[in-house]
A and B are shown apart, each in its own frame.
Chain A
Amino acid sequence: MSNSATVSSKTWAGGRSPFSVSYGKLMMWVFLLSDAFTFSSLLVGYGAIRFSYSGSSTPWPDPSAIFNHFPFAHGYYLPLLFVSLMTFILIFSSVTMVLAVEAGHRKSKAEVSKYMIYTIIGGAAFLGCQAWEWSQFIHEGGRLDTNNFGITAQGYEHLKEAGKFGNHFEWMAGDRQPGPVPFASLFFIVTGFHGFHVLSGVVINIIIWLNVIYGTYERRGHYEMVEKVGLYWHFVDLVWVFVFTFYYLI
């Protein structure tokens, strides 16, 4: 004990958390780590199933050739545009979330509230987009256990000729055939599981925002709850980065 004064203050000597964070924040990190494993299992499983269809008579369709719609532009071939918009919305809501956390560090109640409202609006907009995409897919016959979204060789030929970005494009008879069922099931499972996370994030954000408004954190002396829900919200954005990469780009 006599030489304890020579130990640098950065060296952990017991009596406090070696992680230098509160219990709640540490547990949020541990939860997010476990959630990262859940999502990576889903995406790796998706990859394995998709890979197993190479060389099949009903090949895995090009996802962006399927999801080529945009609201109010019916009949136009706009692959990737709508999911890119969804990505933009989520990135934007992520930056407003981190701005709310930063405002919380300065204990600026009004700013925390403002940025959290932006974040909630962003999350709701993302959910709206996802609902639209789901309803499109379901309307065209996609189900958990059925999938008529296979593309035939003729279909790809037609796509190559007429499927230029922004062109008017409709599938012709013989372009499509029943495709791999897991294509539809995994679309609903992966984007659904992510969407459910977004939904929970929006609900939790609203609860925390109400607490901000009521002055709970002002009385508590710190806005760490905003930080914790912020961690969750950024994680949801992080997962979308990989859903976007593996489901739509590849």
Chain B
Amino acid sequence: MSNEHHHAAEGEYIPETYIPHPETHGTKTLWRVFFILLFITVIDFAIYFIAPAGLSRNIVFIALGLVKAVLIVGIFMHLNYEAKFLRWMIALPAAVFISYLAWLLLLEGSFVSTY
């Protein structure tokens, strides 16, 4: 995965001539992730009709959504296999700022009234 191929002068980084050397991880994991995603969606569907509406059901839905998100980002978007620096650069700001935003909503939401 190094970009030490240079068609230009030594040490010069030119995006147009950059040649990646991707490794294939096969298709087995990809199909497995597809079936897990499908299964979780079916579980979502079932829970909606079985469990009564309420906070605990919502927490289950959000947790299952996060599992799907981790699978899509990690395997389909290949982030699990990227350099550690890149993984953190993407995952950390997203996790910190989005949970901060959600926390603000939970904190302030009950004071807001639009009706």
Interface residues, chain A, with chain B CB atoms under 8 Å away:
12, 15-24, 26, 29, 32-33, 36-37, 40-41, 44, 47-49, 51-53, 56-58, 62, 64, 79-80, 84, 87-88, 91-92, 94-95, 97-99, 101-102, 104-106, 165, 180, 182, 221-222, 224, 227, 230-231, 234-235, 237-238, 241-242, 244-245, 249-250
Contacts and interface: CB of A to CB of B under 8 A. Distances in A.
Interface in B23-72: 23-27, 30-31, 33-34, 37-38, 41, 44-45, 48-49, 53, 58, 61-62, 64-65, 68-69, 72
Given A17-B13, A102-B25, 11 more contacts: A19-B85, A49-B114, A88-B41, A95-B76, A106-B24, A227-B78, A234-B76, A235-B77, A237-B72, A238-B77, A250-B61
Interface of B: 1-4, 11, 13, 15, 18-20, 22-27, 30-31, 33-34, 37-38, 41, 44-45, 48-49, 53, 58, 61-62, 64-65, 68-69, 72-73, 75-78, 82-83, 85-86, 89-90, 93-94, 97-98, 101-102, 104-105, 108-110, 112-115
Contacts of B76: 94-95, 97-98, 230, 234, 237
23 contacts: A17-B13, A20-B2, A20-B83, A22-B15, A24-B15, A26-B86, A29-B89, A36-B98, A47-B109, A52-B113, A56-B115, A80-B45, A92-B34, A99-B30, A101-B78, A102-B27, A105-B22, A182-B114, A221-B19, A227-B22, A242-B65, A244-B44, A245-B62
Given A29-B90, A51-B110, A99-B30, A16 B13 contact: yes
Contact of A238 (B44, B73, B83, B86): B73
A222 B101 contact: no
Contacts of B85: 12, 18-19
Contact of B24 (A52, A79, A105): A105
B44 A249 contact: yes
B72 A33 contact: no
A22 B23 contact: no
B41 A57 contact: no
B86 A19 contact: yes
B100 to A, nearest CB: 10
Contacts of A88: 38, 41
A241 B3 CA distance: 35
Contacts of A105: 22-24
B111 to A, nearest CB: 9
A180 B86 contact: no
Which one of A17, A182, A224, A249 has the greatest number of beta carbons of chain B within 10 Å?
Answer: A249
Contacts of A26: 86
Which one of B41, B77, B78, B104 has the greatest number of beta carbons of chain A within 10 Å?
Answer: B77
Contacts of A227: 22, 78
Nearest to B87: A19
A172 to B, nearest CB: 22
